[in-house]
Amino acid sequence: MKAEFKEVPVPPRWCMVCRGEIPPERVLRHSGTCSDECSAQHKRDMMNVKAGKICRLCRRPFRRPRRVTIEEASTPLPDGCVTGTQGGSETTATAKNA
């Protein structure tokens, strides 16, 4: 006597790449994409993400970018400059008043 299997309804799932509905046979295989083209595109995308994190030759992770401190970021002002003034506006204002 052979056991009969009931067909289980498959809930709809959506493709990670094109956001289309995944066919039931691919859902049963636990696929996250709806077609082979979407699967290849997803694989390329993941390889590009990985390429930005580790070196493909030595497999070492890239170093973190160096943080710039406030002292390094700020450059000293030349002598005679006052913060908050705009390019010679003080001299023109005093010349007009005199």
84 in a structural domain: no
Count of domains observed in the chain: 1
In a domain, 38, yes or no: yes
Residue 45 is assigned to a structural domain of this protein: yes
Residue 1: inside a domain:
no
Contacts of 20 (CB under 8 A, 6+ apart): 14, 34
Phi/psi of residue 21, each to 5°?
-75, 140
Answer yes or no: are the C-beta atoms of 21 and 15 closer than 8 Å: yes
CB 38 within 8 A of CB 17: yes
Domain that holds residue 61: 10-69
- Do the domain assignments include residue 89? no
- Assigned domain for 37 exists: yes
Mean pLDDT lowest among 2-6, 22-26, 32-36, 57-61: 2-6
Q: Per the domain annotation, does 88 fall within a domain?
A: no
pLDDT at 20 over 90: yes
Dump pLDDT digits (tens) for 30-79.
999 999 999 999 999 999 998 888 888 898 998 877 777 776 666 666 67
pTM confidence score: 0.52
Instruction: Examine residue 63 and state whether it is found in any structural domain, yes or no.
Output: yes
